[in-house]
């Protein structure tokens, strides 16, 4: 059985790995327009900051693919899917046949409809090449003057991490967030205020409730203008405003799409014999855009390609990471969104610690741990096992 995977991000390579480990006879080919073997998007931040070099970013060495029988074709953009004849067509015109097809085309960085975003010095951060371009731009500018000012548009996890990396490179950084608090997906307002205070102690300025309307400058960036009339200086602008699923290939193949390529509970597209997972896939109206979901979906796809009939029921949003060096875990709900819900908090603003648990029907439905991860193992286990915690709820954060 020949299985073709389009895309070599976390979803694509995780699918390939699951396949070759479960079915030694499976022939797996991966086609990607990238110039590089699989690397974690998270490590782009380390590469930008100079914490790792280019050779260290790759998740597996080239020999790993050979050893596992996974053939990866770099610089091979797929232009068309011919589902009727079970072939894909490369941009070069070459046709590749398949028995089973998996779309893991991922997503691209979203930019905002802002005047002047085509100017020199405006970037997104999604690929190795993006990192290399940013570093080259800063190198050119630092040869002329110092200090340099960088504006990061978007106060999500990537935006904050990118801001810290840019500060490591010697720039004076301002993070600009449209909403009235940072990390609106992972934190409530109280937790976000504590995080903001910790970030500003690192020398990174944070502006909240700011709508960017224009990138200033002639050909090169000189600043950023906001809707309220205020502006800041900037030699570099980095958009970190979420992702946009790459659906074009599925769309032209006649697959059902919305914001992503629509999949069912087996992660099949509307074509049935074609699967999709990761950042390009939309399940029950949702694109998860997180690594745990991509890995979980990849496992389900691999099992179904091998005839196991596995069902995907969604992924509980769970992030355990360091944001500007600060431990942050966010699982499930971040607030009690109904009268039946209950919130338990423990706060130490001086130490930058914020802990909160959301209970529903006596069970943990969500948790936030900022500045600590001491209770992480226990709370994760209680959530996974759906344990009734009413009798000891007051000690959960001890």
Domains of the chain: 2-108+243-305 (3.50.50.60), 122-239 (3.50.50.60), 325-395 (3.30.390.30)
pLDDT at 235: 97
Token pair 């915690």 is found at: 389
Residue 185 vs residue 295, higher pLDDT: 295
Neighbour-count burial of 184, counting CB atoms closer than 10 A to its CB (0-12 exposed, 13-18 middle, 19+ buried)? middle
Neighbours of 265 (CB within 10 A): 13
Counts of helices then strands in the chain (DSSP H, E): 9, 25
Cα separation, 398 vs 382, whole angstroms: 15
Mark residue 386 as left, alpha or beta (left: phi above 0; alpha: psi -120 to 50; beta: remaining).
Answer: left
Q: What is the dihedral of CA 11, 286, 44, 9, to 10 degrees?
A: 20
Residue 198's nearest CA partner among 177, 180, 179, 182 is: 182
pLDDT at 262: 98
Averaged pLDDT score across all residues of the chain: 93
Quick one: how far is CA 97 from the chain centroid? 31
Residue 395, phi then psi, degrees to nearest 5: -100, 0
pLDDT at 338: 62
Check whether 213 has a pLDDT greater than 80: yes
Give the pLDDT band (50/70/90) at residue 130.
Answer: very high
Residue 216's nearest CA partner among 284, 129, 122, 327 is: 122
pLDDT at 173: 98
The token pair that represents 32 in the structure block = 């990607």
Quick one: how far is CA 153 from the chain centroid? 16
Check whether 398 has a pLDDT greater than 90: no
Instruction: Give the DSSP H/E element, type plus range, for residue 166.
Output: helix 157-168
For residues 183 and 154, the answer to whether their CB atoms sit within 8 Å is no
Check whether 322 has a pLDDT greater than 80: no
pLDDT at 221: 97
Tell me what percent of the residues of the chain surpass a pLDDT of 70: 99
β-pairing, 100-103 with 2-6?
parallel
Residue 396 vs residue 218, higher pLDDT: 218
For residues 142 and 170, the answer to whether their CB atoms sit within 8 Å is yes
For residues 82 and 163, the answer to whether their CB atoms sit within 8 Å is no
pLDDT at 184: 86
**DSSP label at residue 136:** H
């Amino acid at each position: 059985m020949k299985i073709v995977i389009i895309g070599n991000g976390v979803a694509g390579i995780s699918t390939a790995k699951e396949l070759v480990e479960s079915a030694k006879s499976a022939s797996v080919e991966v086609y990607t327009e990238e110039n590089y073997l699989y690397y974690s998007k998270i490590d782009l931040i380390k590469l930008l900051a100079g914490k790792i070099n280019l050779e260290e970013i790759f998740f597996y060495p080239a020999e790993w693919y050979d050893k596992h029988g996974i053939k990866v074709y770099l610089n091979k953009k797929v232009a068309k899917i011919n589902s009727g004849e079970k072939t894909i067509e490369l941009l070069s015109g070459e046709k590749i046949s398949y028995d089973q097809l998996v779309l893991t085309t991922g997503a691209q960085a979203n930019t905002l409809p802002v005047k002047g975003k085509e100017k020199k010095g405006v970037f997104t951060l999604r690929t190795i090449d993006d990192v290399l371009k940013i570093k080259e731009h800063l190198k050119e500018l630092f040869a002329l003057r110092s200090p340099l000012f960088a504006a990061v548009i978007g106060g999500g996890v990537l935006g904050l991490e990118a801001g810290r990396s840019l500060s490591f490179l010697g720039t004076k950084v301002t993070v600009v967030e449209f909403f009235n608090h940072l990390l609106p997906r992972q934190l409530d307002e109280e937790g976000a205020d504590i995080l903001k205070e910790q970030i500003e102690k690192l020398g990174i300025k944070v502006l909240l409730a700011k709508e960017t309307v224009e990138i200033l400058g002639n050909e090169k960036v000189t600043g950023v203008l906001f809707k309220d009339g205020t502006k800041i200086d900037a030699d570099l602008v980095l958009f970190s405003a979420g992702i946009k699923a790459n659906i074009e290939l599925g769309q032209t193949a006649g697959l059902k799409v919305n914001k992503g390529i629509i999949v069912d509970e087996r992660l099949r597209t509307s074509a049935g014999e074609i699967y999709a997972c990761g950042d390009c896939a939309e399940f029950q109206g949702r694109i998860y855009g997180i690594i745990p979901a991509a890995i979980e979906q990849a496992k389900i796809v691999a099992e179904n390609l091998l005839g196991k009939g596995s069902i995907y029921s969604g992924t509980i949003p769970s992030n355990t990471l360091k944001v500007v060096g600060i431990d942050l875990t966010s699982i499930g709900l971040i607030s009690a969104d109904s009268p039946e819900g209950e919130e338990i908090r423990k706060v130490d603003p001086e130490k930058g610690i914020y802990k909160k648990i959301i209970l529903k029907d006596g069970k943990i439905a969500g948790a936030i741990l900022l500045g600590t991860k001491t209770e992480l193992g226990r709370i994760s286990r209680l959530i996974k096992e759906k344990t009734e915690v009413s009798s000891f709820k007051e000690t959960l954060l001890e």
